Structure 1
Amino acid sequence: MSQPMTFFALMRAHPNWLRLSRPERRRFEQETLKPIYARYPGVKMRWFDAEAFTARCSDVAMFEAASVKEFYFLIDALRDSPLMTEPYFEFVDIIPAVEDGFLDYDAQLAR
């Protein structure tokens, strides 16, 4: 299996985050999060808002990583950052997945 792994991180915003103004949130992203992401270029992230649709989590981060080790290091860096220590957010769940994994399985059956 040479395709990247995908991880869906269900996150919940804490009141500390919600108390920040929108400009403060953008500044935090620029000054704290972007440098962390830059250290792990093999991991791509997309952000989804969920708070209008579920009480379980407020946000879902989707990480696509060619290396599980690089993803692991990114998550540790986020856990060490104010994102989790302030705390601004907490991880509710992290769900690993393989996109269309059944195709690889079917291909190996055909051998």
Structure 2
Amino acid sequence: MTITQSPFEPTVTVFMLVKTSPEWLGFAVDHRFELLAKHFTPILKNHAANVSLRFFDVEFYSTRVTDIWMWDAADHHSYQLLVEDLRETAFWDRYFDIVEILTGVENAYAKNYDRPVITA
């Protein structure tokens, strides 16, 4: 999977903490990728102008969640439309349990006080 730069400046970033289900893990790896290509990828493409996704595997370090899906969105409404589409698939709370959703605005503290961003 290739990660590309978003074609927009994100207004909101959402971290979805998800856990793979036994059903998903019971599928052969090839079948998992077929399901992603058939159901998940078209949703990503449909929303690509306003929402981007990055995947993080965390099952090596956590038992509560196995993956983090990081969504950058041009605005809240675009993110909400994406979620509506995802909820109509088996990826939402069947193949993956949506454990927690954390929404944030990158560097809001600096923007709100008109200060420079602190970086390393």
Separation (CA, whole Å) in 2 of partners of 1:82 and 1:27:
13
Q: Normalised by the size of structure 1, how large is the TM-score?
A: 0.88
Q: After the TM superposition, which segments of 4 or more aligned residues of structure 1 sit over 4 Å from their partners?
A: none
Answer 1 or 2: which has greater helix percent.
Answer: 1
Separation (CA, whole Å) in 2 of partners of 1:68 and 1:25:
29
**Residue equivalent to 1:13:** 20
- Structure 2 unaligned regions, length at least 5: 1-8, 116-120
- Count, aligned residues: 106
8 A Cα contact 2:10 2:75, kept in partner = no
**Residue equivalent to 1:106:** 113
Q: CA deviation at 1:84?
A: 2.2
Q: CA deviation at 1:97?
A: 0.8
Instruction: Give the 3-state SS of the residue equivalent to 2:113 in structure 1.
Output: helix
Residue 77 of structure 1 pairs with residue 65 of structure 2: no
Q: Normalised by the size of structure 2, how large is the TM-score?
A: 0.82
Aligned AA (2:55)? W
The one-character-per-residue Cα deviations of 1:63-92 (angstroms, maximum 9, x if unpaired) are 00011111111112111101126x101110
Q: CA RMSD in A?
A: 1.5
Instruction: Give the 3-state SS of the residue equivalent to 2:109 in structure 1.
Output: helix
**Residue equivalent to 1:24:** 31
Residue 68 of structure 1 pairs with residue 76 of structure 2: yes
Instruction: Give the 3-state SS of the residue equivalent to 2:42 in structure 1.
Output: helix
Q: CA deviation at 1:40?
A: 1.0
- Structure 1 unaligned regions, length at least 5: none
Separation (CA, whole Å) in 2 of partners of 1:56 and 1:30:
26
Separation (CA, whole Å) in 2 of partners of 1:3 and 1:35:
21
**Residue equivalent to 2:6:** none
**Residue equivalent to 1:96:** 103
Separation (CA, whole Å) in 1 of partners of 2:75 and 2:36:
24
